Amino acid sequence: MASLPARTLFTAEEYITQERKALHKSEYLDGQIFAMSGASRAHSLITGDIFNTLYNQLVGSDCEVHSSDMRVRPIPIAYFYPDVVVACGEPRFEDDVLDTLLNPIVIVEVLSPSTAAYDRGEKFSHYRQLTSLRDYILVSQHKVCVEHHWLRDRQWEHTEFLALDDGLSLTSIGCNISLHDIYRRVNVAV
């Protein structure tokens, strides 16, 4: 019987040291480092429009909107790069490099065929460990479908939006996003 090759596991410290020198982004989970692939045009446009919509609504508030370059660390230790992340009040970071956010209030992931199940399942399970998180939004890039998970009375609720006329209300940050704005520059199935 052939033996399986041994997997190399990394500590969180080894990951961060390596990631801060890397030319390409990687995520970290359970001692493993996962290279991130590039985004499609639709993914990039949807992410940009969500970022822009939230940024414009939050100008002058105490909230910050970040793109996919801001790393987030839930507990137990994992490191992810959400497509869009919002922090309000005083942002908390892992260290003085200020590149790993600890207290996001809103996280948005634009789904890819290869990551959709992971984003809905294991990744969301880790994100739920963030005590600051109030809204988790999953956006399909191939059809009009936005899944909104929000925390109410320590329980996660869920709603799906399937029409361009629908709007998503994020009471945690006082913002509204119409699905028309999310999908305005991409051709998706309705």
Nearby residues of 140 by Cβ (< 8 Å), 6 or more positions away: 111, 116, 146, 188
Residue of 66, 184, 47 lying closest to 109 (CA atoms): 47
Quote the pLDDT of residue 114: 87
Residue 3 has pLDDT above 70, yes or no: no
pTM: predicted TM-score of the whole model, two decimal places: 0.94
35-68 pLDDT, tens digit each: 998 889 999 999 999 999 999 999 999 999 999 9
* Rg for the chain, CA atoms, rounded: 17
Which two tokens mark 171? 């009471």
Give percent of the chain with pLDDT exceeding 70.
96
| Within-domain flag for 108 | yes
CATH number of the structural domain spanning residue 66: 3.90.1570.10
Residues 31, 9 contacting (CB under 8 angstroms): yes
Quote the pLDDT of residue 5: 58
Which residues form the domain of 84? 39-183
| Within-domain flag for 6 | no
| Within-domain flag for 98 | yes
Mean pLDDT of the chain: 94
DSSP readout, 51-62?
Answer: HHHHHHHHTTSS
| Within-domain flag for 5 | no
Instruction: For residue 25, report the phi and psi dihedrals to the nearest 5 degrees.
Output: -75, 145
Lookup result for tokens 């590039």 = 38
Task: Give me the half-sphere count of Cα atoms (radius 13 Å) on the Cβ side of residue 132.
Answer: 21
| Within-domain flag for 24 | no
| Within-domain flag for 25 | no
| Within-domain flag for 120 | yes
Quote the pLDDT of residue 38: 83
**How many structural domains compose the chain?**
1
Residue 2 has pLDDT above 70, yes or no: no
Lookup result for tokens 């908390």 = 92
| Within-domain flag for 80 | yes
Residue 116, class by beta-carbon neighbours within 10 Å (0-12 exposed, 13-18 middle, 19+ buried)?
middle
Residue of 62, 70, 66 lying closest to 90 (CA atoms): 62
